[in-house]
Homo-oligomer: A and B are copies of this chain.
Amino acid sequence: MPAYLTDRLLDPTALVESVASPGCGATSLFLGTVRRAPEDGDLEGIEYSAYPEMAEAEFERIVAEARERWPEACIALRHRTGYIAVGEASVAIAVASPHRAQAYDCSRYLIEETKKRVPIWKKERFASGAAEWVEPMHV
């Protein structure tokens, strides 16, 4: 399966290897990591939850769209759920293709659509014990 949810650590090298083939000269790996900006105070990590059946169905639809636009791309997409500490990756997208423009563009498409459409939610966890749902503005 090219795209799924997981509760395990994401492994960049394994993901890159999973899409490699002799005909592909370019691989793009994107990692989204839990970030603590200066305004985030004592943020320690984020709890990710999902609507798993729909998230995986939506991943399949997004990957199918990407394959239609970039038929030569090999795609692997993983999204973690559960608690993820600052600095750890929540999402990893590897795309290999014969030439680099396809790899960059396809990777960008996959992350943009994932963020827009896949039913996954974040709850920020602070050292103080406070917890807050992340409510994006693009509702």
Contact = CB atoms under 8 A, between A and B. Distances in A.
Interface of A: 11-13, 16, 20-38, 86-87, 89, 98, 100, 103-104, 107-108, 111
Nearest to A14: B13
Given A12-B12, A13-B12, A87-B22, A33 B27 contact: yes
Contacts of A30: 26-29, 100, 103-104
A30 B29 CA distance: 6
A23 B35 contact: yes
Contacts of A103: 30
A37 B35 CA distance: 40
Contact of A29 (B29, B100, B111): B29
Contacts of A29: 12, 16, 27-31
A7 B33 CA distance: 30
Given A22-B36, A28-B107, 12 more contacts: A12-B13, A20-B87, A22-B86, A24-B33, A25-B32, A26-B33, A28-B28, A28-B30, A28-B31, A29-B29, A30-B100, A104-B107
Contact of A98 (B22, B37, B100, B107): B37
